[in-house]
Chain A
Amino acid sequence: MLVLIVLTALLMAPLGLFARHESRPVVGWILALIPLALFVTISALAPTVLAGGRVEQAIPWVPRMGLELRFALDGLSLLFALLVSGIGTLIVLYTAYYLAGDPGMGRFYLTLFIFMGAMLGLVLADNVLTMFMFWELTSVSSYLLVGYKHDYPSARRGAQMGLLITVGGGLALLVGLVLLGNAAGSYTISEILAAGEQIKASPLYTPAMLLIFAGCFTKSAQFPFHFWLPNAMQAPTPASAYLHSATMVKAGVYLLARLHPTLSDTPLWLYTLTIVGMTTMLIGAVTANRRDDIKGLLAYSTISKLGTMVLLAGMGGPEAPAALVATILAHALYKGALFMLAGAVDHEAGTRSLSQLGGLRRAMPWTAALAILSSLSMAGVPILFGFVAKEEQLYAAVDNGLPPGFDILVLIAVVTSAVFGVLYSWRLVSGVFFGPRGSGMKEHVHEAPAGMLLGPALLTTLSVVLPLGLLPATATLLQPAVNAISNEGAKISLYLLPSQIGLPLILSMTALLIGAVLTRFEPQIVAAPSPLPPWLNGDRIYDAAVDGVLRGATIFTRTLQNGKLRSYMTWAVLTLVVVVAPPLALFGFGGLALPTLDGVEPFEFVSALLIPIGIVATLNARSRLGGIIAASFVGLMVAFIFVIYSAPDLALTQLLVEILTTVFLVLLFAVMPASFERLSSPSERSRDGLIAVVAGMVIAGVAFAASSVTQVPNISAAFRTESQSQGFGDNVVNVILVDFRGFDTLGEIVVLFTALLGIYAMLRLRPVADPTRDDEETPLQPTLPEVAALLGNGQAGQPAPREREAPVAGKGH
């Protein structure tokens, strides 16, 4: 059943393509049946979970690698699955109106359903690797959703930023999860949780947790990765409402909550999460008040709330799990509604800027009413569900079980963020719906279509109605989720007004009061300098990092990959030296018998000396002919040495080859310029010379080493004795060639013959320049000098310089 739920969303996704720009909203209503059906199905499973049970399903996938499609539904996943499918239904409806007339609507629906399936898979997965797959799928599909309006560079940048950060974090997460699985001996989440003590004792615990935190923090927009979320606000509003408030950004929180029961009570967990969560909460709350764009304001307030959730997941205390669950629900209700309403305002008024909006309560009374109620819930004003959740947060913060001193700090931070929460809620409502009519709005602003208001209305109603008599029922529904998070059997008890007036209530009221007072100073607060130093601007750091990596890569490529063959050869020879020299130095010279000069005849000495002279002459030759002559001189001297060591046949071969090569070279050089071009500077030449000398010495060293090892018995004696009796010949070489190794000789002849055929074929097939064709398609015939220059310089002599290295690719695509 669980597999079916996930697959349904994914497989039904192509149905989204039926929505076309000319189609009427009814298509949206039909499409909304898919998530609705999922919602109903999941609800049908709820009684089992409420009764304390679990729904499980597993399909083996790659059993050998521990990969398994294992799904489980417990309280926590039930809460998330209901949110994903429930709010998903409303979003699908909303989209039908919001994107009406947009040609890309079908594509949007397609991606939205894929995202929905991925998100359901993520929260239902009971195997960390399965979960990771869906985790990455949410990143990729959200990327497509954010970049939906791809004509805008800012949309592309926002999409890319979100993707890079969440996918990068995802990789960290993968490593962390694999480490976790190794420590636990299983990749199944329930088994990992059961092995909690074993994991905490393992040395892998710290690295695994830090990597998992990195994944969660990037996904849930925690400081210092939070900056991608405001940039992702370029997404169409339905996507923002769905991904960036209700579902995807909570995935990190979900995973933390999931691992909470048995992996949490360590200093690492406690301090990392509380400090990061607290920082994010405060930065988000303060920055939300500095935003002019209403979606930006909502994004930062979301960051703040996500920080609160991470803080709650991090700190101990009996109340924290209940507060976390209540906050998740409350936030999904009011923030989902507010995003959709912000979209409605944008849709009708044509702007999202607070400075250009104003006085919309008359033109859009219903939108105004819903937004005011949801904002009140966001501010935590009594009798709304936001208030109930805030009470829970304060309860948890008061009784947080943190070390003395730190506990007060956390409490102050929570109250401070509540104060700022009041302020930004007020800014939103007053700036959009009250005051004088905004300057930058469309001429005639109408109320949004009813279909667009349906979703927000439903969510707002829940925010209002839940506290009015439904709190015990809600608590019952949320209790399984609390059970799944808590390690010590925490109970959730939601109440509208406490039986006695305690510290939390006092703090809550104080926060409301201070917030109300602060509204008088709104202009000053909006203009106040950023709480963060300018260099700690995530946007800028991101840009600098992306630019820096690209520029570094380009410089590296330019330097190493210059297209010159000789430079490639230099690197190859250098590496040869680096690799071969150490074994030679380490083991070799100790046991090597270096040759002595005893018994070296004078003429041997002379010929050995003449060879280097020939080499130097070759290198310094000014003309090609001189170079050829000097080079062949070297060859002749080698032949002479063979003669000295009484190897006439070798000497003859060497001589013949030498002559033949010289003739070829002279023939070839006849069509080339007579003198050399200096392609390198003197310093480059001396560097290359040094490399050559060192490489030569290394190879000579290897040769010495080789001559001092006799592993294999010498076979020449055997040939000498056998050639007469077996081969009936006096010349051993002849006998080897035609008899002992006769087949080899045959093979060589065949090879030579084949090569001859090949050369003939090449000559015959060589296309002849056709004088009758002079259109631009006539192939370019490289001339020999061009080819020669190519060999020397790689680039010189080409008809047109080709782009070697790419320019630094601009950011934002």
Chain B
Amino acid sequence: MESLQIPPVDLRLLTPLLIVVGWAGALLLIDVFFVPDGRKKITGYLAIAGLAVAGLAGIPLWNLSGSTFSGMLVLDRYSLALTWIFLIAGALSIAVALDYLPRHAIEQGEYYPLIMFAVGGMILMAQSADLITLFLGIELLSITLYILTGFAYPRVASEEAGMKYLVLGAFAAGFFVYGIALIFGATGATSLAGIAAYLGRQPFAPQEETLFLAGASLVLIGFSFKIALVPFHMWTPDVYEGSPTPVAAFMSVGTKGAALAALLRVTLALEEAQTFWLPILAVLAAATMILGNLGALGQSNLKRMLAYSSIGHAGYILLGIMVAAERGAEAFLFYILAYTLTNLGAFGVLIALEQRGEAAWSIDDFAGLYQRRPLLAVAMALFMFSLAGVPPTAGFMGKFFIFTAAYAGGLGWLVLIGVLTSAIAAYYYLRVVVKMFMQEPVREVRPELTRGLNTEILIAGVATLILGLLPTPIVLLVERSLVALGG
């Protein structure tokens, strides 16, 4: 052993990540020592400012690309675009929580740095080019979320959610690490490039193949838990229902998005193992689309319905990942953006209707919303239309891109399932619209709209419309962001 070689480190490539994590750490202390109780909103604003700074710091990196930490972390436009999406998701999740937490008497300043840590984990996942760093990102995100899920501490439902998520999440983490170990045993590498290079040297010994396939399967199971793919989705409705609504909103777009983004990179790296990898993904996607949407159909609790709907959407997104090498990656990025904004908007409306002590999540609570809060009802209708994929909304464009890319990639039968399940989905989304516009109020629900919530719903609504009406600039941006991601 010669002298220790410290690998060259280029921290520039990690600017947004470092800002987010560093500011989150600092904010924990600032919150404890400088922010008085009862005015914890200040911490929230500071957190949003931190996320904004991180986003701005990413702009000069647009023309930069490279890898650091011995190739364990990369910066490319793909990761940068995702970083921005995650920062937006984090900021919006904080914005809706500003008034939610005090209203539900669970205001703790830690909420905001925790969200930032989670965003940091997501960015780490997007930048990972190595299974180990990927695992680090997943855990940074997951552990934060275990805490956030149980954040409404005295509420038993919240604790139950946290517990369930923790136990199943630990399970998933175990699978994932075991899978990494087996892959390393087979290929001698944990980096995606190393694995891809090994796979390029086919054929290899049957034992190695066994080991690799078993390892890859385990890694995929780990992913499936995080993305909530059927049959690893079962925690989702319970956890979403139990956790504080802003956390559920964040999870529905955040965990999912980051894990899917990482899965896309892994899928590209496993190009040579396609014959094994893609059929499994296909079965998962089909099961997820069908069972996710069927599950949503029977729900009269809107929070659970959105949980199932998020499962179904993961199935659609999986189609984009399967054809990532062709046009799928573009479609994927667009869909993630569209879905993130739309879903955060829908959860925002849910939060507006939620009052302390009682949760207005029943679909009946939406009855006659149009009479009482016409604009809120219109916004919710917009989100529902977008989730259902009705033009001219972001959701339609996303579905259209995904389905055309998948069709061109030869996934005709999956597209068929996608279209059919979209028809099922239209039923339960539009049922909400019927309730809001065509029925009289069943019971008195007084939506409380505050500044943070208004802003969030407005941003989400406008973005949903713009992405649906004038998607070209975003499509171009998405297209450019994938130049380096050749696979």
Cα distance A571–B476 when bound, in Å? Answer: 42
Q: Are B231 and A809 in contact (CB under 8 A)?
A: no
CB distance from B359 to the nearest CB of A (A): 10
Find out whether the CB atom of B234 lies under 8 angstroms from the CB atom of A794.
Answer: no
Closest to A160 in B: B434
Contact in complex: B294, A553 (CB < 8 Å): yes
Find the B residue at minimum CB distance from A149.
Answer: B438
CB contact between A178 and one of B357, B385, B390, B404 (< 8 Å): that residue = B404
Q: Which residues 174-188 in B have Cβ within 8 Å of A in the complex?
A: 175, 181-182, 184-188
Q: A583-B213, A584-B214 are known contacts. Are A813 and B434 too (CB-CB below 8 A)?
A: yes
B280 to A579, Cβ gap below 8 A?
yes
A313-321, A486-494, A631-639, A703-711: which lies at the interface:
A703-711
Complex CA gap A554/B153 in Å reads: 30
Q: A553-B297, A591-B207, A705-B210 are in contact. Are A780 and B156 (CB under 8 A)?
A: yes
Q: How far is the CB of B320 from chain A (nearest CB, A)?
A: 13
Q: Is A502 an interface residue (CB 8 A)?
A: no
A808 in the interface (beta carbon within 8 A):
yes
Contacts of B347-389 to chain A: CB distance below 8 A: 356-357, 363, 385
The listed residue with most A CB atoms (<10 A of its CB), out of B391, B430, B431, is: B391
Q: Which residues of A contact B297 (CB under 8 A)?
A: 549-550, 553-554
Within 8 A of B (CB), among A568-623: 568-569, 571-572, 575-576, 579-580, 583-584, 586-588, 590-592
Please indicate the chain A residues that have their CB under 8 angstroms from the CB of B157 in the complex.
802
Given A592-B207, A706-B182, verify A809-B363 contact (CB < 8 Å).
Answer: yes
A68 to B213, CA, bound (A): 45
In the complex, are the beta carbons of A553 and B298 less than 8 A apart? Answer: yes
Contacts of A802 in B (CB 8 A): 157
CB distance from B463 to the nearest CB of A (A): 16
User: How many angstroms from the CA of A779 to the CA of B356 in the assembled complex?
Assistant: 12
- Which residues of chain B in 274-327 are interfacial with respect to chain A, using CB atoms and an 8 Å cutoff? 276, 280, 291, 294-301, 304
A813 touches B431 (CB 8 A): yes
How far apart are B398's CB and chain A's nearest CB, in angstroms?
11
| Contact of A61 with B185 in the complex, beta carbons under 8 Å | no
Q: Are A552 and B206 closer than 8 Å at their CB atoms?
A: no
B390 in contact with A64 (CB, 8 Å): no
B426 touching A164, Cβ below 8 Å: yes
CB distance from B210 to the nearest CB of A (A): 4
Instruction: Report the contact-size class of chain A (Cβ under 8 Å from the partner).
Output: 35 or more
Question: What chain A residues lie within 8 Å of B426 (beta carbons)?
Answer: 164, 167-168
Partner of A63, one of B231, B296, B472: B472
B128 at the binding interface (Cβ < 8 Å): no
| In the complex, chain A residues whose CB is within 8 Å of the CB of B205 | 591, 709
Cβ of A210 under 8 Å from chain B: no
Task: Given A62-B397, A168-B423, A711-B208, decide whether A159 and B298 contact each other with a Cβ distance below 8 A.
Answer: no
Known A164-B427, A706-B185; contact A794-B214, beta-carbon cutoff 8 A:
no
Please name all residues of chain A whose beta carbon is closer than 8 Å to the beta carbon of B415 when the two chains form the complex: 175
Cβ–Cβ < 8 Å partners of B220 in chain A: 579
Q: Is the beta-carbon distance between A561 and B234 smaller than 8 angstroms?
A: yes
A546 to B427, CA, bound (A): 10
A-side contacts of B295, CB under 8 Å: 553, 556-557, 560-561
Give complex CA distance A565, B167 in Å: 9
Task: State which residues 420-478 of B face A: CB under 8 Å.
Answer: 420, 422-424, 426-427, 430-431, 434-435, 437-440, 470-472, 475-476
Q: Among the listed stretches B9-17, B69-77, B86-94, B158-166, which one makes contact with chain A, having 4 or more residues with CB under 8 Å of it?
A: B158-166
CA distance A560 to B295 in the complex (A): 10
Whether the Cβ atoms of A61 and B472 lie closer than 8 Å is yes
- Expressed in whole angstroms, the minimum distance between the Cβ of B172 and any Cβ of chain A is 8
Whether the Cβ atoms of B439 and A150 lie closer than 8 Å is: yes
Residue of A nearest to B175 (CB): A576
A806 CB-CB contact with B under 8 Å? yes
Question: Complex: how many Å from CA A569 to CA B165?
Answer: 11
Are B159 and A65 in contact (CB-based, < 8 A)?
no
The reply on A498 being an interface residue by CB < 8 A is no
* Residues of B contacting A705 in the complex (Cβ-Cβ under 8 angstroms): 207, 210-211, 214
CB pair A794 B210 closer than 8 Å? no
Rounded to whole Å, the gap between the CB of B297 and the closest CB of chain A is 4
A163 within 8 A of B: yes
Q: How far is the CB of A695 from chain B (nearest CB, A)?
A: 12
Q: How far is B478's CA from A792's CA once the two chains are assembled, in angstroms? A: 47
| Minimal beta-carbon separation of A618 from chain B (angstroms) | 19
Write the chain B residue with the least CB distance to A134: B391
**Inside 8 A of A155's CB, which chain B residues have their CB?**
438
Residue A267 at the B interface, CB < 8 A?
no
Interface size on B, as a range, is: 35 or more
- The minimal Cβ–Cβ distance linking A483 to chain B, given in whole angstroms, is 31
Q: Is the CB of B404 within 8 A of A65?
A: yes
Q: Are A798 and B156 in contact (CB under 8 A)?
A: yes
Residue B240 is within 8 A (CB to CB) of chain A in the complex: no
A198, B43: Cα distance in complex, Å: 64
1/0 per residue, CB under 8 A from B, across A542-566: the answer is 0000100110111011001101010
Docked CA distance A133–B468 (Å): 11
Residues B168 and A175 in contact, CB atoms below 8 Å apart: no
**Chain B residue contacts of A706, Cβ below 8 A:** 181-182, 185, 211
In the complex, which residues of chain A have a beta carbon less than 8 angstroms from the beta carbon of B385?
140
Cβ–Cβ contact B304 & A806, under 8 A? yes
The answer to whether B438 touches A159, judged by C-beta atoms less than 8 angstroms apart, is yes
What mask results when residues 131 to 163 of chain A are scored 1 for a CB within 8 Å of chain B, else 0? 011001100100010010011000110011001
A62-B475, A65-B401, A572-B232 known; A806-B298 Cβ under 8 A: yes
A505 on the interface (CB 8 Å rule)? no
- Of the candidates B153, B171, B185, B217, the one whose C-beta lies within 8 Å of that of A583 is B217
A767-810 CB contacts (< 8 Å) to partner B:
767, 776-777, 779-782, 786-787, 790-791, 794, 798-799, 802-803, 805-809
Do the beta carbons of B207 and A777 come within 8 Å of each other? no
Query: In the assembly, what is the distance between CA of A174 and CA of B300, in Å?
Result: 30
Q: Are B404 and A584 in contact (CB under 8 A)?
A: no
**B7 on the A face (CB < 8 A):** no
Max chain B C-beta neighbours (<10 A), residue from A178, A569, A706, A782: A706
Instruction: Contacts A575-B232, A588-B206 given; indicate if A147 touches B438 (C-beta within 8 A).
Output: yes
Is A722 part of the binding interface, using a Cβ–Cβ cutoff of 8 Å?
yes
A51 contacts partner chain B, Cβ-Cβ < 8 Å: no
Which residues of chain A have C-beta atoms less than 8 A from B356's C-beta?
777
Question: Which of B385, B439, B479 has the largest number of chain A CB atoms within 10 A?
Answer: B439
Chain B positions near chain A (C-beta within 8 angstroms): 1, 105, 108, 110, 153-157, 159-160, 163-164, 167-168, 171, 175, 181-182, 184-188, 205-211, 213-214, 217-218, 220-221, 225, 231-232, 234-235, 237-238, 276, 280, 291, 294-301, 304, 356-357, 363, 385, 390-392, 397, 400-401, 403-404, 407, 415-416, 419-420, 422-424, 426-427, 430-431, 434-435, 437-440, 470-472, 475-476, 479
Write 29 A-B pairs (CB below 8 A) sorted by A numbering.
A60-B472, A168-B426, A554-B298, A556-B291, A557-B294, A560-B295, A565-B163, A565-B167, A568-B168, A580-B217, A580-B218, A583-B213, A587-B207, A587-B213, A588-B206, A588-B210, A702-B182, A705-B214, A706-B181, A709-B186, A709-B205, A777-B356, A779-B153, A782-B154, A790-B159, A791-B167, A805-B298, A806-B298, A806-B301
Chain A residues packing against B (C-beta within 8 Å) = 60-65, 67, 129, 132-133, 136-137, 140, 144, 147, 150-151, 155-156, 159-160, 163-164, 167-168, 171-172, 174-175, 178, 182, 546, 549-550, 552-554, 556-557, 560-561, 563, 565, 567-569, 571-572, 575-576, 579-580, 583-584, 586-588, 590-592, 702, 705-706, 708-709, 711-712, 718, 722, 726, 761, 765, 767, 776-777, 779-782, 786-787, 790-791, 794, 798-799, 802-803, 805-809, 813
Known A63-B472, A808-B298; further 17 A-B contacts with Cβ < 8 A: A60-B472, A61-B472, A136-B391, A144-B437, A147-B434, A167-B423, A178-B404, A568-B234, A568-B235, A572-B221, A575-B221, A583-B213, A583-B214, A588-B210, A709-B185, A709-B207, A809-B298
- Pick the 5 closest A-B CB pairs, nearest first: A779-B154, A150-B438, A583-B213, A806-B300, A588-B210
